[in-house]
Amino acid sequence: MRLELDAVSKRYGSATALDSVSLSVDDGEFFTLVGPSGCGKTTTLRCIAGFEPPTEGTVRFDGESMAGVAPESRGVGVVFQNYALFPHLSVGENVAYGLRFTDPPGGGSRDDRVAELLDLVDLAGFEDRDPDSLSGGQQQRVALARALAPGPDLLLLDEPMSALDARLRDRLRRQVKRIQSELGVTTVYVTHDQSEALAVSDRLAVLNRGRVEQVGKPRELYHRPRTRFVAEFLGENNVLDAVVESRPETGGVRVGVGDAVFALAEGRRVLGRSRTQPGDGSSERAEGPPRPEPGDELTFCVRPERLRADAGTNRIRGTVVDTEFQGATTRVRLDWDGTELVVAVEDGGEESAAGFEVGTTMEVGFDPAAAHIVE
């Protein structure tokens, strides 16, 4: 199923939850809505499912408007944040409840369909168990099986793993992605966890205050954020405001940040102006973007892993104010003339910690192409 949202808005009195959201999700795609609390993710999902009618705009399934179509008639499976399992029904009865309005797909029996789905989610033999006797991860998988029982054309997942611990969440999200890929069902996944969104999505949309900030593939949004909000929300980033100092004949631009001057590469990847594609909120790099001229203000970002001791073009010397050991890397926070910078340093063993003790001076740099200009 192909899903389209065309300028969908949702207002509750004077409060606007969604503001002209336009998105498209391809058939069989795993699409994620990510953003901070209150950005409109769940409201978008509820409008798709039919639980909330849009104040304005249209939701389309395979080109057909869903205006006036009841939730149970939309061919949608939903997994809620709290799973919503029925405690008085067994695991098998919970899964079979998803078949109360329809026959199992493929013409088999309900018992066969329940057994098939429990095997799919690695819960074979759990048919007679009570939901209360299951762990949180097992309950999540029962809810997923129930949503898949009628063979929906569209699967909606509303932060289904937010209550699970980190290791279980990591394992189950891989399992959900595997099941989705095997079945080929179009899926819209809601989460506020940036790393989860980057890990599981074919594409994702970053929402902020009811609007779509950017749509694209995970690597595109991580390495080429269109706006300052996306740059700061998707993983740690060093975002700096600058003024263009000059345009050297050798190419690129030189910008000033305080008393420091940095060289930035020029080209569509770095300085291309973004524009929104009609209908789906995605961005592309415009042909022939206007070049920044001396005196222009701009904002650029450099990821912590791109600040390195062996990068020689743009040098920064700061004082270590904090360190966080994270296993493969250590996050080092530097005070650079009143500006906080984050550096990701690959771990070199116990002896490497002495190189960035709090209060010591640390010098790093970044290559011109490591910087990315945002709106």
Please name each of the domains of the chain with its CATH number.
3-223 (3.40.50.300), 236-374 (2.40.50.100)
Which tokens in the block code for residue 182?
């095997």
As a whole number of angstroms, the distance between CA 94 and CA 88 comes to: 9
Q: Which of 79, 40, 74 is nearest to 173 (CA)?
A: 79
Is the model's pLDDT at 361 over the cut of 90?
yes
Q: What pLDDT digit, counting tens, does each position of 163-221 carry?
A: 677 777 788 888 888 889 989 999 999 999 898 999 999 999 999 999 999 999 999 99
366 versus 289: the higher-pLDDT residue is 366
> How would you label 41-74 residue by residue, b for 16+ Cβ within 10 Å and e otherwise?
bbbbbbbbbbebebeebebebeeeebeeeeeeeb
pLDDT tens digits, residue range 221-231?
999 999 999 99
Pairing of β 283-285 and β 15-25: unpaired
How is residue 354 annotated by DSSP?
A: G
CA angle 68–72–74, rounded 5-degree value: 65
- Cβ-proximal residues to 280 (8 Å cutoff; 6+ apart), any chain: 22, 23, 24, 215
Q: How far apart are the first and last CA of the chain?
A: 34
150, 101 contact by CB (below 8 A): yes
Closest to 110 in 3D by CA, of 94, 125, 122, 124: 94
Per the CB < 8 A criterion, the answer to whether 313 and 299 are in contact is: no
Structure tokens at 299: 């904002």
Span 96-153, pLDDT tens digits: 997 887 888 888 899 999 999 999 988 999 999 999 999 888 998 899 999 999 999 9
Residues 6 or more apart in contact with residue 107 via CB below 8 angstroms: none
In this structure, the dihedral spanned by the alpha carbons of residues 62, 64, 70 and 73, taken in order and rounded to 10 degrees, is -50
